[in-house]
Chains A and B, each alone.
Chain A
Amino acid sequence: MAALQTSAPPASPGQERRVIVRRKRTVAQRFRSDWPLLLMTLPAMAQLAVFFYWPSAWNIIAFMDYSPHRAFWDNPLVGFAWFERLFANPYFTPALLNTLKYSFANLLFLFPLSIILALVMHSVVSTKVRSVFQSIVYLPYFFSWVLVVTVFVQTLGSDGLVSNWLLGLGGDRLSFTSNPDTFLFLAWLQWAWKDAGWGMIIFLAALASINPSLYEAAAVDGASRWRRMWHITLPGIRPVIVLLLILHIGGILTVGFEQYQLQRDAIGYQTTEVLDTFIYYRSVIGTEGPSFGTAAGLFKGVIGLILVLVANNVAHRLGEQGIYQKS
Chain B
Amino acid sequence: MTAIDTKIKPRSARKNTRPVWDEEPSLLGKLVKALFLICYGAAIVLPIWAVVATSFASEQSLTAAGGNLLLIPTDVSLAAYQEIFDGGALTKSLILTIGLTVGGTALSMVLTIGAAYGLSRPGSLLHRPLLMLVLFTFLFAPGLYPSFLVVQKLGLFDNYLSIILPMALSAFNLIVLRSFFMNSVPTELLDAARMDGAGEFRTLFKIVLPMSKAILAVIALFYAVGYWNIYFSAVLYIPGLDTQPIQVVLQRMLMSTQGLPGAAANVSQYQSAAPDSALKMAVVVCTIIPIVIMYPFIQKHFTKAVITGAIKG
A35-53 residues at the B interface, CB under 8 angstroms:
35-45, 47-48, 50-53
B143 contact set on A, CB distance < 8 A? 55, 59, 279, 293-294, 296-298, 300-301
> CB of B17 within 8 A of chain A?
yes
Determine the residue in chain B with the shortest Cβ distance to A117: B40
Query: Count of chain B residues with Cβ under 8 Å from any Cβ of A?
Result: 120
* Docked complex Cα distance between A262 and B33 (Å): 35
Shortest distance in angstroms between A113's beta carbon and chain B's nearest beta carbon?
10
Interface residues as binary, A31-75 with B (CB distance below 8 Å gives 1, 0 otherwise):
100111111111111011011111110110100000000000000
Cα A36 to Cα B202 with chains together (Å) = 10
Question: Is the beta-carbon distance between B125 and A38 smaller than 8 angstroms?
Answer: yes
What B residues does A245 contact at CB under 8 A? none
B residues in contact with A265, CB < 8 Å: 255, 258, 260-262
* B 1-45 contacts with A by CB, 8 A: 1-2, 4-5, 7-12, 15-19, 21-23, 25, 33, 36-37, 40-41, 43-45
Residues on A with C-beta less than 8 A from B295 are 135, 139, 142
CA A145 – CA B4 in complex, angstroms? 26
In the bound complex, residues from chain B placing their C-beta under 8 Å from that of A297 are 141-146
Contacts of B50 in A (CB 8 A): 154-155, 161
Contact of B291 with A143 in the complex, beta carbons under 8 Å? yes
Question: DSSP class of A's interface residues: helix, strand, loop or mixed?
Answer: helix
B interface: dominant SS: helix
B11 touches A212 (CB 8 A): yes
Q: Does B180 lie at the interface of the complex (its beta carbon under 8 Å from any beta carbon of A)?
A: no
Contact assessment for B150 and A134 in the assembled complex, using a CB-CB cutoff below 8 Å = no
Residues of B within 8 A of A1 (CB): 128
| 25 A-B pairs in the complex with CB atoms less than 8 angstroms apart | A40-B204, A45-B133, A51-B169, A58-B149, A61-B146, A125-B16, A131-B4, A132-B41, A133-B40, A134-B299, A137-B40, A140-B44, A144-B287, A159-B257, A161-B50, A164-B66, A201-B306, A202-B310, A204-B8, A204-B303, A212-B11, A265-B261, A280-B236, A284-B148, A294-B145
Interface residues of A (CB under 8 A from B): 1, 4, 27, 30-31, 34-45, 47-48, 50-56, 58-59, 61, 117, 120-137, 139-140, 142-147, 149-155, 157, 159-161, 163-164, 167-168, 178, 193, 197, 201-202, 204-206, 208, 210, 212, 215-216, 219-220, 225, 240, 243, 250, 254, 257-258, 261-262, 265-266, 276, 279-280, 283-284, 290, 293-294, 296-298, 300-301, 304-305, 308-309, 323-324
